[in-house]
Amino acid sequence: MECCCGLSLRSSASALLDPQGISSSHTCKRNSGDLHHQVLSLRAKQFIPHTYRLDPCLYKEALPPLKYSRKYKGAIFAESGRQTWDFGRFIRTLYFFNGPPNPAKVRNKEKARSMLGPDVDLIVGDITKMETLSPEYFKGVKKVINAASVIIGPKEGDTPDRAKYSQIKGDSPEKVEYIGMQNLINAVKNSVGLQDGELLFGFKGNITGKLIWGALDDVVMGGVSESGFQVDPKGNEDGGPTGLFKGVVSTSNNGGFTSIRTKNFSTPEDLSAYDGIEMRVKGDGRRYKLILRTSSDWDTVGYTASFDTTKEQWQTIKLPFSSFRPIFRARTLMYSKFEYDGKLNPTFVEGSFQLPFSSIRAYINEPITPRFVHVSSAGVTRPGRPGLDLSKQPPAVRLNKELGFVLTYKLKGEDLLRESGIPYAIVRPCALTEEPAGADLIFDQGDNITGKISREEIARICIAALDSPYACGKTFEVKSTVPFSELYVIDPENPPPEKDYDEYFKNLKEGITGKEALEGNPVPVE
């Protein structure tokens, strides 16, 4: 939903939200005829093993949306167009023939098309170059799995003892893991939405500066009602500033409504990632209307929802987009003697009124699941950790500096996602293998474990996390219980049991990253 008009609040006991501006009938601009959210999604089919992906193609799936179960066994199936698609078989196919694909080949759209078939929308982009991540590419994308990473390995062949391991192919860790993450977050942020919602009005920083409110009363039809908007410096429930819609409503001269409305937004608000509008108001016992408008024209259809208030009580009002009705000439946050279709407002009373409102925001329905799943790496907090025995650590930990501070920048990229406000999950695999999925797993937090895990298993974990509220806001490491000295294989006659990844996610805690074990910050970047 794009809000391009304004917000408006109406005092006939109805309230309106106008996207092109905000009025006391509130208005918000939308792109389509319905008020259901549009969303951005990069899904299962878009997963490319992270060790080998630098400048990824972004695969945007065509309708219908991806469907998957909470339990996973063997292959993962995704719907796209006319036929199902076996993700596990796709991964096995790539790694059976001469190893993983060359990043240059992945970035080649024609070759990607031959690999993925006709039912996947392909978009070529480079996360290190913001200009290649056009907002148009993310239209309709609701969720993202990011598996982009630098490529570590010799440029011209290694020695038996891996003497040339400490080389980076392509762009630097800073450019890929940090700047690339920053670019990708900026590209998808508006589309996937923020966990705490998008603030449209409220006294946070200078957020109120872009909303210019004006009265839109029944004077436009010969009435004498009068209202306005002002800021009450101490009117908030916490003693801070709040907006105040107040005035006097009269039925004289066939009038009977007052409203305030914002001027048209200079840039339309895209609320497609959200499920509705939430307001924090102090009620006066009347019913108001909130109106959202999708056009910058003066007299157009307004999408309208009414809400009741409780006298002298602060309350949170949630108005799902599905509850808004298309009404002609209803475009303000409004208090009016009419409800809809000529019916009277049951709470309408002539005289003075006032409605303090401290915030207006777009919200995401609960339970909130991750909108952005990021594949990072175990070990990102270990460089510089006091008391760590480096001889027992993976090469990337021992050679962090020689590898361009790869783990340091991976951690900085993680922090960007944690600070972005996007609902997220961060998966930190141990050493990746081409073994099949299905082995028993160990999930841990605090960045202490070493071991190995199947790439196919990581793909399944990422997909499961997209649908799990238990994964939201979590950072975790994962490995299989199979030691490096053993090769994991599957007996076709006795396949492994299905996994319910929620059982793992439920035991994880928010806020644990491994940085807790550091004295100060990780090793500084030189």
Residues β-bridged to residue 40: 141, 142
Neighbour-count burial of 82, counting CB atoms closer than 10 A to its CB (0-12 exposed, 13-18 middle, 19+ buried): exposed
Q: Where are the beta strands (DSSP E) in 45-203?
A: 57-61, 71-72, 77-80, 83-86, 120-124, 144-146, 151-152, 168-169, 198-202
CA–CA dist 192, 364 (Å, integer)? 10
State the pLDDT at residue 24. 30
pTM of the model: 0.75
Phi, psi (5° rounding) for residue 210? Answer: -90, -5
Tell me the one-letter amino acid at 251: T
pLDDT of residue 265: 81
Residue 417: helix, strand or coil by DSSP? Answer: helix
Beta bridge partners of 171: none
Whose tokens are 């392509």? That residue is: 170
Domains in the chain: ranges and CATH: 87-195+369-488 (3.40.50.720), 198-363 (2.60.120)
Give me 436's structure tokens: 């099949």
Distance CA 66, CA 48 (A): 17
Strand ranges in 271-350 using DSSP code E only, listed in sequence order = 276-282, 287-293, 301-308, 314-320, 325-328, 333-336
Count of all residues that appear for the chain in the document: 526
E strands along 223-272, which residues? Answer: 226-232, 242-249, 257-262, 269-270
| Contacts made by residues 233-240, CB under 8 angstroms, sequence distance 24+ | 235/282, 235/356, 235/358, 236/203, 236/356, 236/358, 237/282, 237/314, 237/358, 240/203, 240/358
Q: How many CB atoms lie within 10 A of CB 300?
A: 16
User: From the CB of residue 100, how many other CB atoms can be counted at a distance below 10 Å?
Assistant: 19
Among 127, 85, 72, residue whose Cα is nearest residue 496 = 72
Neighbouring residues of 15: CB distance < 8 A, sequence distance ≥ 6? 8, 9, 24, 25, 26, 279, 288, 289, 290, 291, 305, 306, 307, 333, 334, 335
**pLDDT in single tens digits along all 526 residues of the chain:** 444 444 555 544 333 333 333 333 222 333 333 333 322 222 222 333 333 232 333 333 333 333 333 443 333 333 333 445 555 555 555 444 444 444 444 457 788 788 778 888 888 889 999 999 988 888 888 999 999 999 887 666 667 766 666 678 789 999 999 999 999 999 999 899 999 999 999 887 655 555 788 898 888 788 999 999 999 999 999 999 999 999 999 989 888 889 998 888 888 888 999 999 999 999 999 999 998 888 877 677 888 899 999 999 999 999 999 999 887 653 344 555 555 555 556 666 788 999 999 999 999 999 999 999 999 999 999 998 988 888 889 889 998 998 999 999 999 999 999 999 999 999 999 999 999 999 999 999 999 999 999 999 999 999 999 999 999 999 999 999 999 999 999 999 999 999 999 999 999 999 999 998 775 555 554 4
User: Cα(524)–Cα(154) distance, rounded to whole angstroms?
Assistant: 25
How far apart are alpha carbons 44 and 206 in whole angstroms? 39
CA 131 to CA 109: how far, in whole Å? Answer: 18
Residue 215: count other Cβ atoms within 10 Å of its Cβ: 19
For residues 87 and 94, what is the distance between their CA atoms, to the nearest angstrom?
11
Return the pLDDT at 64: 35
Among 197, 194, 507, CA closest to 370: 194
DSSP 365: P
pLDDT of residue 300: 77
What pLDDT is recorded for position 99? 46
Are the C-beta atoms of residues 120 and 61 closer than 8 Å to each other?
Answer: yes
CA torsion 340-342-348-354 (nearest 10°) is 50
Q: Are 291 and 334 in contact (CB under 8 A)?
A: yes
DSSP string, 170-183: SS-HIIIIIIHHHH
Which parts of 294-394 are beta strand (E)?
301-308, 314-320, 325-328, 333-336, 351-363, 372-375
Backbone angles phi, psi at 188, to 5 degrees: -105, -10
* Nearest CA-CA partner of 484 in 446, 442, 430, 407: 430
Cα(153)–Cα(164) distance, integer angstroms: 7
